[in-house]
Structure 1
Amino acid sequence: MSGGYDDRDGKIWMDGKLVEWRDAKVHILSHALHYASSVFEGERCYGGTIFKSRQHSERLRASANLIDFEVPYSVDQIEDAKAQVLKANGLTDAYVRAIAWRGAGPDMGVASARNPVRMAVAAWEWGAYYGDAKTKGAKLDLSKWKRPSPETIPSEAKAAGLYMICTMSKHAAEAKGCSDAMMLDYRGYVAEATGANIFFVKDGEVHTPKPDCFLNGITRQTVLQLLREKDIPVHERHIMPEELEGFQQCWLTGTAAEVTPVGQIGDFTFEVGAMALDIAESYETLVRS
Protein backbone atom coordinates (compact mmCIF):
# COMPACT_ATOMS: atom_id res chain seq x y z
CA MET A 1 0.00 0.00 0.00
CA SER A 2 1.05 3.57 -0.63
CA GLY A 3 -0.46 7.03 -0.42
CA GLY A 4 -2.58 8.55 2.32
CA TYR A 5 -4.76 6.34 4.46
CA ASP A 6 -7.83 7.73 2.68
CA ASP A 7 -6.55 6.95 -0.81
CA ARG A 8 -5.67 3.27 -1.12
CA ASP A 9 -6.82 0.17 -2.90
CA GLY A 10 -8.52 -2.53 -0.91
CA LYS A 11 -11.60 -3.25 1.18
CA ILE A 12 -12.81 -2.05 4.57
CA TRP A 13 -15.59 -3.73 6.54
CA MET A 14 -18.14 -1.11 7.48
CA ASP A 15 -21.49 -1.59 9.21
CA GLY A 16 -21.79 -5.23 8.22
CA LYS A 17 -20.39 -5.31 4.71
CA LEU A 18 -17.17 -4.87 2.77
CA VAL A 19 -16.85 -1.58 0.89
CA GLU A 20 -14.19 -0.10 -1.34
CA TRP A 21 -11.42 1.52 0.72
CA ARG A 22 -12.00 5.00 -0.73
CA ASP A 23 -15.76 4.74 -0.11
CA ALA A 24 -15.46 4.07 3.65
CA LYS A 25 -16.64 7.51 4.78
CA VAL A 26 -18.62 9.17 7.55
CA HIS A 27 -20.70 12.35 7.65
CA ILE A 28 -19.10 15.57 8.89
CA LEU A 29 -21.73 15.74 11.66
CA SER A 30 -20.85 12.34 13.09
CA HIS A 31 -21.01 12.68 16.86
CA ALA A 32 -17.61 11.05 17.36
CA LEU A 33 -15.87 13.73 15.29
CA HIS A 34 -17.20 16.47 17.55
CA TYR A 35 -17.35 14.77 20.96
CA ALA A 36 -14.88 11.84 20.78
CA SER A 37 -17.57 9.20 21.30
CA SER A 38 -15.39 6.48 19.79
CA VAL A 39 -13.51 3.37 20.90
CA PHE A 40 -11.01 1.30 18.96
CA GLU A 41 -8.59 -1.62 18.96
CA GLY A 42 -5.15 -2.03 17.43
CA GLU A 43 -4.26 -5.64 16.64
CA ARG A 44 -1.54 -7.47 14.76
CA CYS A 45 -1.96 -10.45 12.49
CA TYR A 46 1.01 -12.82 12.26
CA GLY A 47 1.04 -15.51 9.59
CA GLY A 48 -2.71 -15.28 9.13
CA THR A 49 -3.65 -15.28 12.82
CA ILE A 50 -4.50 -12.19 14.86
CA PHE A 51 -2.74 -12.44 18.21
CA LYS A 52 -5.32 -12.60 21.03
CA SER A 53 -7.98 -11.51 18.56
CA ARG A 54 -10.97 -12.46 20.66
CA GLN A 55 -9.59 -10.64 23.69
CA HIS A 56 -9.33 -7.49 21.58
CA SER A 57 -12.92 -7.88 20.36
CA GLU A 58 -14.14 -8.33 23.92
CA ARG A 59 -12.25 -5.22 25.00
CA LEU A 60 -13.77 -3.17 22.16
CA ARG A 61 -17.25 -3.96 23.43
CA ALA A 62 -16.22 -3.32 27.04
CA SER A 63 -14.68 0.04 26.12
CA ALA A 64 -17.91 1.08 24.42
CA ASN A 65 -19.90 0.20 27.53
CA LEU A 66 -17.51 2.30 29.63
CA ILE A 67 -18.26 5.38 27.51
CA ASP A 68 -21.97 4.64 27.49
CA PHE A 69 -22.83 2.92 24.25
CA GLU A 70 -23.28 -0.58 22.94
CA VAL A 71 -21.45 -2.01 19.93
CA PRO A 72 -24.21 -3.48 17.73
CA TYR A 73 -22.16 -6.57 16.86
CA SER A 74 -21.31 -9.61 18.97
CA VAL A 75 -17.77 -10.78 19.58
CA ASP A 76 -18.31 -13.56 17.04
CA GLN A 77 -19.51 -11.04 14.44
CA ILE A 78 -16.50 -8.81 15.07
CA GLU A 79 -14.21 -11.81 14.69
CA ASP A 80 -15.87 -12.66 11.39
CA ALA A 81 -15.51 -9.06 10.20
CA LYS A 82 -11.78 -9.12 10.86
CA ALA A 83 -11.42 -12.40 8.99
CA GLN A 84 -13.33 -10.97 6.01
CA VAL A 85 -11.06 -7.92 5.88
CA LEU A 86 -7.85 -9.93 5.96
CA LYS A 87 -9.11 -12.31 3.26
CA ALA A 88 -10.46 -9.52 1.03
CA ASN A 89 -7.14 -7.68 1.15
CA GLY A 90 -4.96 -10.78 0.83
CA LEU A 91 -3.15 -10.06 4.10
CA THR A 92 -1.43 -12.53 6.41
CA ASP A 93 0.89 -10.15 8.29
CA ALA A 94 -0.93 -6.92 9.06
CA TYR A 95 -2.10 -4.35 11.53
CA VAL A 96 -5.85 -4.51 12.16
CA ARG A 97 -7.90 -1.54 13.33
CA ALA A 98 -11.44 -2.11 14.64
CA ILE A 99 -13.36 1.03 15.58
CA ALA A 100 -16.87 1.79 16.83
CA TRP A 101 -18.41 5.24 17.16
CA ARG A 102 -21.57 7.26 17.55
CA GLY A 103 -22.52 8.42 14.08
CA ALA A 104 -24.69 11.20 12.69
CA GLY A 105 -28.34 11.16 13.73
CA PRO A 106 -31.10 13.17 15.43
CA ASP A 107 -28.75 14.48 18.13
CA MET A 108 -26.03 17.05 17.51
CA GLY A 109 -25.03 18.16 20.98
CA VAL A 110 -23.24 16.60 23.92
CA ALA A 111 -26.04 14.05 24.34
CA SER A 112 -26.32 11.50 21.54
CA ALA A 113 -28.42 8.61 22.79
CA ARG A 114 -30.58 8.59 19.64
CA ASN A 115 -27.70 8.45 17.19
CA PRO A 116 -26.77 5.12 15.58
CA VAL A 117 -23.59 3.35 16.66
CA ARG A 118 -21.42 2.42 13.70
CA MET A 119 -18.44 0.14 13.31
CA ALA A 120 -15.61 -0.51 10.86
CA VAL A 121 -12.59 -2.77 10.50
CA ALA A 122 -9.57 -1.99 8.34
CA ALA A 123 -6.20 -3.74 7.93
CA TRP A 124 -2.91 -2.82 6.33
CA GLU A 125 0.74 -3.80 6.25
CA TRP A 126 2.69 -2.03 8.97
CA GLY A 127 6.27 -2.63 10.08
CA ALA A 128 8.08 -1.77 13.31
CA TYR A 129 6.36 1.09 15.13
CA TYR A 130 9.64 2.61 16.31
CA GLY A 131 11.79 1.79 13.29
CA ASP A 132 15.25 0.51 14.23
CA ALA A 133 14.67 1.07 17.96
CA LYS A 134 14.28 -2.68 18.48
CA THR A 135 18.05 -3.01 18.17
CA LYS A 136 19.25 0.48 19.12
CA GLY A 137 16.72 1.39 21.80
CA ALA A 138 14.06 4.09 21.53
CA LYS A 139 14.67 7.63 22.71
CA LEU A 140 11.85 9.11 24.79
CA ASP A 141 11.02 12.64 25.85
CA LEU A 142 9.34 13.48 29.17
CA SER A 143 5.80 14.71 28.52
CA LYS A 144 4.43 17.80 30.22
CA TRP A 145 0.97 16.20 30.15
CA LYS A 146 -0.16 13.73 32.82
CA ARG A 147 -2.53 10.80 32.72
CA PRO A 148 -5.63 12.01 34.59
CA SER A 149 -7.36 10.54 37.60
CA PRO A 150 -9.80 7.66 36.96
CA GLU A 151 -12.35 9.89 38.68
CA THR A 152 -12.19 12.18 35.62
CA ILE A 153 -12.01 9.66 32.76
CA PRO A 154 -12.90 5.99 32.14
CA SER A 155 -9.22 5.00 32.18
CA GLU A 156 -9.95 1.31 31.48
CA ALA A 157 -11.47 2.17 28.09
CA LYS A 158 -9.47 2.28 24.88
CA ALA A 159 -11.30 5.42 23.85
CA ALA A 160 -10.27 7.94 21.21
CA GLY A 161 -10.69 10.98 23.46
CA LEU A 162 -8.13 9.69 25.95
CA TYR A 163 -5.42 9.90 23.27
CA MET A 164 -5.61 13.67 22.76
CA ILE A 165 -2.78 14.41 25.21
CA CYS A 166 -0.87 11.43 23.81
CA THR A 167 -0.90 12.95 20.33
CA MET A 168 0.27 16.28 21.73
CA SER A 169 3.02 14.60 23.73
CA LYS A 170 4.25 12.54 20.79
CA HIS A 171 4.35 15.58 18.51
CA ALA A 172 6.43 17.47 21.08
CA ALA A 173 8.76 14.45 21.42
CA GLU A 174 9.24 14.09 17.68
CA ALA A 175 10.10 17.78 17.42
CA LYS A 176 13.00 17.05 19.80
CA GLY A 177 14.20 14.07 17.77
CA CYS A 178 12.61 11.46 20.05
CA SER A 179 10.46 8.48 19.12
CA ASP A 180 7.92 8.93 21.89
CA ALA A 181 7.29 10.45 25.31
CA MET A 182 6.93 9.00 28.78
CA MET A 183 3.99 10.34 30.75
CA LEU A 184 3.53 10.65 34.48
CA ASP A 185 0.13 10.29 36.12
CA TYR A 186 -1.84 12.91 38.04
CA ARG A 187 0.02 11.98 41.26
CA GLY A 188 3.47 12.31 39.71
CA TYR A 189 4.14 8.57 39.33
CA VAL A 190 5.56 7.06 36.13
CA ALA A 191 2.61 5.95 33.98
CA GLU A 192 3.28 4.91 30.37
CA ALA A 193 4.36 6.10 26.94
CA THR A 194 1.82 7.68 24.59
CA GLY A 195 0.65 4.35 23.20
CA ALA A 196 2.60 1.71 25.11
CA ASN A 197 3.17 0.43 28.62
CA ILE A 198 6.62 0.59 30.20
CA PHE A 199 8.90 -1.82 32.09
CA PHE A 200 12.21 -1.32 33.91
CA VAL A 201 14.96 -3.69 35.08
CA LYS A 202 17.10 -3.34 38.20
CA ASP A 203 19.48 -6.06 39.43
CA GLY A 204 17.69 -8.81 37.52
CA GLU A 205 14.20 -7.85 38.70
CA VAL A 206 11.45 -6.11 36.75
CA HIS A 207 9.50 -3.05 37.88
CA THR A 208 6.43 -1.77 36.05
CA PRO A 209 3.85 0.90 36.93
CA LYS A 210 0.62 -0.25 38.50
CA PRO A 211 -2.14 0.33 35.88
CA ASP A 212 -4.59 2.08 38.17
CA CYS A 213 -5.17 5.13 35.95
CA PHE A 214 -4.14 3.97 32.47
CA LEU A 215 -4.86 1.06 30.14
CA ASN A 216 -3.62 -2.34 31.28
CA GLY A 217 -2.51 -3.37 27.80
CA ILE A 218 -3.02 -6.84 26.37
CA THR A 219 0.66 -6.94 25.37
CA ARG A 220 1.59 -5.80 28.89
CA GLN A 221 -0.37 -8.69 30.37
CA THR A 222 1.26 -11.10 27.90
CA VAL A 223 4.77 -9.92 28.83
CA LEU A 224 3.99 -10.23 32.54
CA GLN A 225 3.06 -13.86 31.92
CA LEU A 226 6.31 -14.44 29.99
CA LEU A 227 8.30 -12.99 32.88
CA ARG A 228 6.52 -15.24 35.39
CA GLU A 229 7.21 -18.29 33.24
CA LYS A 230 10.91 -17.34 33.29
CA ASP A 231 10.77 -16.99 37.12
CA ILE A 232 11.84 -13.36 36.90
CA PRO A 233 10.64 -11.34 39.91
CA VAL A 234 8.15 -8.64 38.91
CA HIS A 235 7.06 -5.65 40.99
CA GLU A 236 3.87 -3.89 39.85
CA ARG A 237 4.02 -0.70 41.86
CA HIS A 238 4.04 3.08 41.89
CA ILE A 239 7.36 4.35 40.51
CA MET A 240 8.69 7.86 41.12
CA PRO A 241 10.48 9.51 38.16
CA GLU A 242 13.72 9.96 40.15
CA GLU A 243 13.96 6.16 40.37
CA LEU A 244 14.81 6.01 36.65
CA GLU A 245 18.42 6.81 37.54
CA GLY A 246 18.77 3.41 39.23
CA PHE A 247 17.24 1.26 36.47
CA GLN A 248 19.58 -0.53 34.06
CA GLN A 249 17.18 -1.56 31.28
CA CYS A 250 13.82 -0.42 29.99
CA TRP A 251 11.35 -1.51 27.34
CA LEU A 252 7.91 -0.62 25.98
CA THR A 253 5.05 -3.00 25.24
CA GLY A 254 2.02 -2.60 22.99
CA THR A 255 0.36 -4.13 19.96
CA ALA A 256 2.03 -1.59 17.70
CA ALA A 257 5.27 -1.34 19.72
CA GLU A 258 5.39 -5.10 20.41
CA VAL A 259 8.42 -5.25 22.76
CA THR A 260 10.77 -2.35 22.07
CA PRO A 261 13.87 -1.62 24.19
CA VAL A 262 14.40 1.97 25.38
CA GLY A 263 17.84 3.56 25.36
CA GLN A 264 17.01 6.97 26.80
CA ILE A 265 14.26 8.83 28.65
CA GLY A 266 15.06 12.50 29.07
CA ASP A 267 18.51 12.59 30.72
CA PHE A 268 18.34 8.96 31.88
CA THR A 269 20.04 6.26 29.78
CA PHE A 270 19.55 2.50 29.68
CA GLU A 271 21.40 -0.38 28.09
CA VAL A 272 19.70 -2.49 25.44
CA GLY A 273 20.38 -5.46 27.67
CA ALA A 274 19.99 -9.19 27.66
CA MET A 275 16.66 -9.31 29.48
CA ALA A 276 15.00 -6.76 27.19
CA LEU A 277 16.24 -8.60 24.11
CA ASP A 278 15.22 -11.98 25.52
CA ILE A 279 11.69 -10.80 26.29
CA ALA A 280 11.42 -9.25 22.82
CA GLU A 281 12.52 -12.54 21.24
CA SER A 282 10.17 -14.59 23.43
CA TYR A 283 7.26 -12.36 22.52
CA GLU A 284 8.08 -12.63 18.81
CA THR A 285 8.16 -16.41 19.12
CA LEU A 286 4.86 -16.49 21.01
CA VAL A 287 2.89 -14.33 18.56
CA ARG A 288 4.05 -16.46 15.64
CA SER A 289 3.55 -19.84 17.31
Structure 2
Amino acid sequence: MVGAYDDRDGKIWMDGELVEWRDAKVHILTHAMHYASSVFEGERCYDGKIFKSREHSARLLRSGELLDMPIPYTVDQIEAAKEAVLKANGWDNAYVRALAWRGAGEDMGVAAKRNPVRMAVAAWEWGSYYGDAKMKGAKLDIAKWRRPDPATIPCEAKAAGLYMICTMSKHAAEAKGCSDAMMYDYRGYVAEATGANIFFVKEGEVHTPKPDCFLNGLTRQTVIQMLKDMQIKVNERHIMPEELEGFEQCWLTGTAAEVTPVGSIGDYSFEVGELTKRVATEYERLVRA
Protein backbone atom coordinates (compact mmCIF):
# COMPACT_ATOMS: atom_id res chain seq x y z
CA MET A 1 0.00 0.00 0.00
CA VAL A 2 1.39 3.42 -0.97
CA GLY A 3 0.24 7.01 -0.78
CA ALA A 4 -0.73 9.43 1.97
CA TYR A 5 -2.40 7.82 4.95
CA ASP A 6 -5.64 9.75 4.38
CA ASP A 7 -5.95 8.81 0.71
CA ARG A 8 -5.95 5.03 0.28
CA ASP A 9 -8.26 2.24 -0.71
CA GLY A 10 -9.50 -0.10 1.98
CA LYS A 11 -11.62 -0.30 5.10
CA ILE A 12 -11.23 1.09 8.62
CA TRP A 13 -13.33 0.03 11.60
CA MET A 14 -14.81 3.08 13.29
CA ASP A 15 -17.27 3.16 16.19
CA GLY A 16 -18.65 -0.29 15.49
CA GLU A 17 -18.71 -0.47 11.72
CA LEU A 18 -16.40 -0.74 8.73
CA VAL A 19 -16.17 2.46 6.69
CA GLU A 20 -14.32 3.40 3.53
CA TRP A 21 -10.73 4.44 4.26
CA ARG A 22 -11.21 8.00 2.98
CA ASP A 23 -14.41 8.44 5.03
CA ALA A 24 -12.77 7.71 8.42
CA LYS A 25 -12.81 11.32 9.65
CA VAL A 26 -13.33 13.33 12.83
CA HIS A 27 -14.47 16.92 13.49
CA ILE A 28 -11.94 19.73 13.98
CA LEU A 29 -13.31 20.28 17.52
CA THR A 30 -12.54 16.72 18.56
CA HIS A 31 -11.26 16.94 22.15
CA ALA A 32 -8.24 14.73 21.44
CA MET A 33 -6.90 17.20 18.88
CA HIS A 34 -6.89 20.00 21.45
CA TYR A 35 -6.04 18.21 24.69
CA ALA A 36 -4.33 14.93 23.69
CA SER A 37 -7.09 12.77 25.17
CA SER A 38 -6.14 9.71 23.12
CA VAL A 39 -4.64 6.26 23.66
CA PHE A 40 -3.55 3.66 21.14
CA GLU A 41 -1.94 0.30 20.47
CA GLY A 42 0.48 -0.80 17.76
CA GLU A 43 0.35 -4.49 16.86
CA ARG A 44 1.65 -6.78 14.14
CA CYS A 45 -0.20 -9.55 12.38
CA TYR A 46 2.03 -12.41 11.24
CA ASP A 47 0.63 -15.02 8.86
CA GLY A 48 -2.94 -14.23 9.88
CA LYS A 49 -2.39 -14.00 13.65
CA ILE A 50 -1.84 -10.83 15.68
CA PHE A 51 0.98 -11.40 18.16
CA LYS A 52 -0.24 -10.98 21.76
CA SER A 53 -3.46 -9.50 20.44
CA ARG A 54 -5.54 -9.85 23.60
CA GLU A 55 -2.76 -8.37 25.73
CA HIS A 56 -2.74 -5.34 23.46
CA SER A 57 -6.52 -4.98 23.68
CA ALA A 58 -6.41 -5.23 27.47
CA ARG A 59 -3.66 -2.61 27.63
CA LEU A 60 -5.72 -0.25 25.47
CA LEU A 61 -8.56 -0.46 27.97
CA ARG A 62 -6.13 0.06 30.85
CA SER A 63 -4.65 3.13 29.13
CA GLY A 64 -8.14 4.56 28.78
CA GLU A 65 -8.77 4.02 32.48
CA LEU A 66 -5.51 5.77 33.39
CA LEU A 67 -6.62 8.80 31.37
CA ASP A 68 -10.05 8.77 33.08
CA MET A 69 -11.47 7.88 29.68
CA PRO A 70 -13.36 4.57 29.87
CA ILE A 71 -13.48 2.90 26.47
CA PRO A 72 -16.99 1.53 25.70
CA TYR A 73 -15.81 -1.82 24.28
CA THR A 74 -14.69 -5.13 25.75
CA VAL A 75 -11.55 -7.04 24.89
CA ASP A 76 -13.66 -9.47 22.85
CA GLN A 77 -15.25 -6.63 20.89
CA ILE A 78 -11.86 -5.06 20.17
CA GLU A 79 -10.56 -8.43 19.03
CA ALA A 80 -13.51 -8.81 16.66
CA ALA A 81 -12.90 -5.32 15.26
CA LYS A 82 -9.25 -6.11 14.51
CA GLU A 83 -10.16 -9.35 12.79
CA ALA A 84 -12.82 -7.58 10.74
CA VAL A 85 -10.32 -5.00 9.50
CA LEU A 86 -7.76 -7.61 8.47
CA LYS A 87 -10.40 -9.70 6.72
CA ALA A 88 -11.97 -6.72 4.93
CA ASN A 89 -8.59 -5.65 3.57
CA GLY A 90 -7.37 -9.16 2.78
CA TRP A 91 -4.18 -8.99 4.84
CA ASP A 92 -2.37 -11.81 6.61
CA ASN A 93 0.70 -9.70 7.44
CA ALA A 94 0.08 -6.15 8.57
CA TYR A 95 0.57 -3.52 11.23
CA VAL A 96 -2.60 -2.91 13.26
CA ARG A 97 -3.42 0.38 15.01
CA ALA A 98 -6.25 0.46 17.56
CA LEU A 99 -7.06 3.98 18.76
CA ALA A 100 -9.48 5.48 21.26
CA TRP A 101 -10.11 9.18 21.87
CA ARG A 102 -12.48 11.74 23.30
CA GLY A 103 -14.51 13.08 20.43
CA ALA A 104 -16.43 16.28 19.82
CA GLY A 105 -19.42 16.84 22.09
CA GLU A 106 -20.99 19.23 24.53
CA ASP A 107 -17.68 20.13 26.20
CA MET A 108 -14.84 22.12 24.62
CA GLY A 109 -12.44 22.80 27.44
CA VAL A 110 -9.98 20.85 29.53
CA ALA A 111 -12.82 18.86 31.10
CA ALA A 112 -14.79 16.71 28.66
CA LYS A 113 -16.90 14.25 30.65
CA ARG A 114 -19.91 14.78 28.37
CA ASN A 115 -18.02 14.02 25.16
CA PRO A 116 -18.21 10.51 23.69
CA VAL A 117 -15.22 8.20 23.78
CA ARG A 118 -14.73 6.95 20.25
CA MET A 119 -12.63 4.14 18.82
CA ALA A 120 -11.16 3.04 15.51
CA VAL A 121 -9.01 0.21 14.19
CA ALA A 122 -6.90 0.63 11.08
CA ALA A 123 -4.22 -1.56 9.54
CA TRP A 124 -1.69 -1.35 6.76
CA GLU A 125 1.12 -3.35 5.27
CA TRP A 126 4.36 -2.14 6.83
CA GLY A 127 7.88 -3.49 6.48
CA SER A 128 10.87 -3.00 8.76
CA TYR A 129 10.51 0.11 10.93
CA TYR A 130 14.23 0.90 10.70
CA GLY A 131 14.85 -0.16 7.11
CA ASP A 132 18.15 -2.01 6.63
CA ALA A 133 19.19 -1.45 10.26
CA LYS A 134 18.26 -5.07 11.02
CA MET A 135 21.42 -6.07 9.17
CA LYS A 136 23.82 -3.22 9.90
CA GLY A 137 22.57 -1.85 13.20
CA ALA A 138 20.62 1.36 13.71
CA LYS A 139 22.39 4.66 14.28
CA LEU A 140 20.97 6.53 17.28
CA ASP A 141 21.29 10.12 18.41
CA ILE A 142 21.02 11.09 22.09
CA ALA A 143 17.88 13.15 22.66
CA LYS A 144 17.87 16.44 24.56
CA TRP A 145 14.38 15.65 25.88
CA ARG A 146 13.95 13.29 28.82
CA ARG A 147 11.24 10.87 29.91
CA PRO A 148 9.27 12.68 32.64
CA ASP A 149 8.83 11.94 36.32
CA PRO A 150 5.93 9.44 36.74
CA ALA A 151 4.42 11.88 39.22
CA THR A 152 3.74 14.16 36.23
CA ILE A 153 2.38 11.73 33.63
CA PRO A 154 0.48 8.39 33.48
CA CYS A 155 3.62 6.57 32.33
CA GLU A 156 1.91 3.16 32.27
CA ALA A 157 -0.51 4.37 29.60
CA LYS A 158 0.23 4.22 25.89
CA ALA A 159 -1.09 7.74 25.46
CA ALA A 160 -0.65 9.89 22.38
CA GLY A 161 0.33 13.00 24.35
CA LEU A 162 3.37 11.27 25.83
CA TYR A 163 4.88 10.94 22.35
CA MET A 164 5.26 14.69 21.71
CA ILE A 165 8.88 14.75 22.90
CA CYS A 166 9.49 11.49 21.03
CA THR A 167 8.48 13.06 17.73
CA MET A 168 10.68 16.07 18.41
CA SER A 169 13.63 13.85 19.34
CA LYS A 170 13.23 11.62 16.29
CA HIS A 171 13.05 14.62 13.96
CA ALA A 172 16.27 15.98 15.46
CA ALA A 173 17.92 12.57 15.08
CA GLU A 174 16.88 12.19 11.45
CA ALA A 175 18.28 15.65 10.69
CA LYS A 176 21.66 14.27 11.83
CA GLY A 177 21.37 11.17 9.63
CA CYS A 178 20.30 8.87 12.48
CA SER A 179 17.42 6.39 12.58
CA ASP A 180 16.23 7.29 16.06
CA ALA A 181 17.24 8.78 19.39
CA MET A 182 17.92 7.30 22.80
CA MET A 183 16.34 9.20 25.69
CA TYR A 184 17.48 9.59 29.27
CA ASP A 185 14.90 9.84 32.04
CA TYR A 186 14.28 12.79 34.36
CA ARG A 187 17.04 11.54 36.72
CA GLY A 188 19.61 11.14 33.96
CA TYR A 189 19.42 7.35 33.67
CA VAL A 190 19.25 5.61 30.27
CA ALA A 191 15.55 5.12 29.46
CA GLU A 192 14.52 4.05 25.95
CA ALA A 193 14.36 5.09 22.31
CA THR A 194 11.49 7.24 21.02
CA GLY A 195 9.24 4.25 20.35
CA ALA A 196 11.17 1.21 21.52
CA ASN A 197 12.77 -0.24 24.64
CA ILE A 198 16.52 -0.81 24.76
CA PHE A 199 18.83 -3.69 25.78
CA PHE A 200 22.61 -3.95 26.20
CA VAL A 201 25.05 -6.88 26.42
CA LYS A 202 28.21 -7.06 28.50
CA GLU A 203 30.26 -10.17 29.23
CA GLY A 204 27.43 -12.51 28.34
CA GLU A 205 24.80 -10.81 30.47
CA VAL A 206 21.95 -8.55 29.35
CA HIS A 207 21.20 -5.18 30.92
CA THR A 208 18.02 -3.19 30.34
CA PRO A 209 16.64 -0.06 32.03
CA LYS A 210 14.09 -0.53 34.78
CA PRO A 211 10.71 0.67 33.41
CA ASP A 212 9.74 2.86 36.35
CA CYS A 213 8.98 5.98 34.30
CA PHE A 214 8.27 4.65 30.80
CA LEU A 215 6.13 1.98 29.19
CA ASN A 216 7.08 -1.62 29.92
CA GLY A 217 6.58 -2.81 26.35
CA LEU A 218 4.96 -6.14 25.54
CA THR A 219 7.83 -6.93 23.18
CA ARG A 220 10.27 -6.03 25.95
CA GLN A 221 8.54 -8.45 28.31
CA THR A 222 8.54 -11.15 25.61
CA VAL A 223 12.27 -10.77 24.94
CA ILE A 224 13.14 -10.84 28.65
CA GLN A 225 11.29 -14.14 29.01
CA MET A 226 13.03 -15.49 25.90
CA LEU A 227 16.43 -14.61 27.39
CA LYS A 228 15.55 -16.28 30.68
CA ASP A 229 14.48 -19.39 28.79
CA MET A 230 17.91 -19.31 27.11
CA GLN A 231 19.48 -19.27 30.60
CA ILE A 232 20.90 -15.79 30.00
CA LYS A 233 20.99 -13.47 32.99
CA VAL A 234 18.91 -10.31 32.59
CA ASN A 235 19.64 -7.31 34.80
CA GLU A 236 16.73 -4.86 34.97
CA ARG A 237 18.26 -1.82 36.62
CA HIS A 238 19.10 1.86 36.39
CA ILE A 239 21.85 2.42 33.83
CA MET A 240 24.11 5.46 33.96
CA PRO A 241 25.19 7.24 30.71
CA GLU A 242 28.88 6.53 31.36
CA GLU A 243 28.16 2.80 31.22
CA LEU A 244 27.42 2.97 27.48
CA GLU A 245 31.14 2.86 26.75
CA GLY A 246 31.48 -0.59 28.32
CA PHE A 247 28.60 -2.35 26.56
CA GLU A 248 29.43 -4.65 23.64
CA GLN A 249 26.05 -5.09 21.95
CA CYS A 250 22.74 -3.24 21.89
CA TRP A 251 19.28 -3.76 20.43
CA LEU A 252 15.83 -2.19 20.47
CA THR A 253 12.50 -3.93 20.98
CA GLY A 254 8.97 -2.90 20.10
CA THR A 255 6.02 -4.00 18.02
CA ALA A 256 7.13 -1.78 15.14
CA ALA A 257 10.87 -2.21 15.79
CA GLU A 258 10.56 -5.95 16.55
CA VAL A 259 14.19 -6.74 17.50
CA THR A 260 16.52 -4.24 15.82
CA PRO A 261 20.31 -4.19 16.41
CA VAL A 262 21.94 -0.87 17.28
CA GLY A 263 25.32 -0.02 15.76
CA SER A 264 25.91 3.28 17.54
CA ILE A 265 24.47 5.71 20.07
CA GLY A 266 26.11 9.10 19.75
CA ASP A 267 29.87 8.45 19.98
CA TYR A 268 29.44 4.91 21.34
CA SER A 269 29.69 1.92 18.98
CA PHE A 270 28.32 -1.62 19.32
CA GLU A 271 28.79 -4.82 17.37
CA VAL A 272 25.86 -6.70 15.86
CA GLY A 273 26.90 -9.74 17.86
CA GLU A 274 25.81 -13.34 18.08
CA LEU A 275 23.44 -12.85 20.99
CA THR A 276 21.70 -9.96 19.23
CA LYS A 277 21.31 -12.07 16.10
CA ARG A 278 20.05 -15.03 18.11
CA VAL A 279 17.43 -12.95 19.92
CA ALA A 280 16.24 -11.45 16.63
CA THR A 281 15.99 -14.91 15.05
CA GLU A 282 14.18 -16.43 18.03
CA TYR A 283 11.74 -13.55 18.17
CA GLU A 284 10.92 -13.96 14.48
CA ARG A 285 10.34 -17.67 15.06
CA LEU A 286 8.13 -17.00 18.08
CA VAL A 287 5.82 -14.47 16.44
CA ARG A 288 5.24 -16.80 13.49
CA ALA A 289 4.80 -19.95 15.57
Task: Bin the TM-score by the shorter chain.
Answer: over 0.9
Deviations 1:193-217 (A, max 9, x none): 0000000000000000000000000
Deviations 1:15-63 (A, max 9, x none): 0000000000000000000000000000000000000000000000000
In 2: Cα distance, 1:242 partner to 1:96 partner:
38
**Moved beyond 6 Å, runs of 4+:** none
Aligned to 1:39: 39
Deviations 1:53-101 (A, max 9, x none): 0000000000000011111110000000000000000000000000000
In 1: Cα distance, 2:205 partner to 2:176 partner:
31
Q: What stretches of structure 2 of length at least 5 have no aligned partner? A: none
In 1: Cα distance, 2:161 partner to 2:127 partner:
26
The secondary structure found in structure 2 opposite 1:147 is: coil
Q: 1:164 corresponds to which letter in structure 2?
A: M
The secondary structure found in structure 1 opposite 2:191 is: strand
1:12-161 equivalences under 5 Å are: 12-161=12-161
Q: What stretches of structure 1 of length at least 5 have no aligned partner? A: none
In 1: Cα distance, 2:123 partner to 2:90 partner:
10
Shift of 1:2: 1.4
1:179-194 equivalences under 5 Å are: 179-194=179-194
In 2: Cα distance, 1:91 partner to 1:239 partner:
41
In 2: Cα distance, 1:2 partner to 1:25 partner:
19
Shift of 1:190: 0.2
The secondary structure found in structure 2 opposite 1:144 is: coil
1:206-245 equivalences under 5 Å are: 206-245=206-245
Shift of 1:107: 0.3
1:189-204 equivalences under 5 Å are: 189-204=189-204
In 2: Cα distance, 1:229 partner to 1:128 partner:
26
Identical aligned residues as a percent = 79
1:165-180 equivalences under 5 Å are: 165-180=165-180
Deviations 1:215-270 (A, max 9, x none): 00000000000000000011000000110000000000000000000000000000
In 2: Cα distance, 1:227 partner to 1:17 partner:
41
In 1: Cα distance, 2:2 partner to 2:243 partner:
43
In 1: Cα distance, 2:263 partner to 2:125 partner:
27
Q: For this pair of structures, how many residues does the alignment match?
A: 289
In 2: Cα distance, 1:230 partner to 1:59 partner:
27
Aligned to 1:3: 3
In 2: Cα distance, 1:69 partner to 1:32 partner:
11
In 2: Cα distance, 1:138 partner to 1:175 partner:
15
In 1: Cα distance, 2:21 partner to 2:135 partner:
35
The secondary structure found in structure 2 opposite 1:105 is: coil
TM-score by length of 1: 1.00
1:263-282 equivalences under 5 Å are: 263-282=263-282
Deviations 1:122-143 (A, max 9, x none): 0100000000000100000000
In 1: Cα distance, 2:129 partner to 2:24 partner:
25
Q: 1:174 corresponds to which letter in structure 2?
A: E
In 2: Cα distance, 1:173 partner to 1:56 partner:
29
Q: 1:45 corresponds to which letter in structure 2?
A: C
The secondary structure found in structure 1 opposite 2:19 is: strand
* TM-align CA RMSD: 0.3
Shift of 1:284: 0.1
In 1: Cα distance, 2:277 partner to 2:34 partner:
42
Q: 2:183 corresponds to which letter in structure 1?
A: M
The secondary structure found in structure 1 opposite 2:63 is: helix
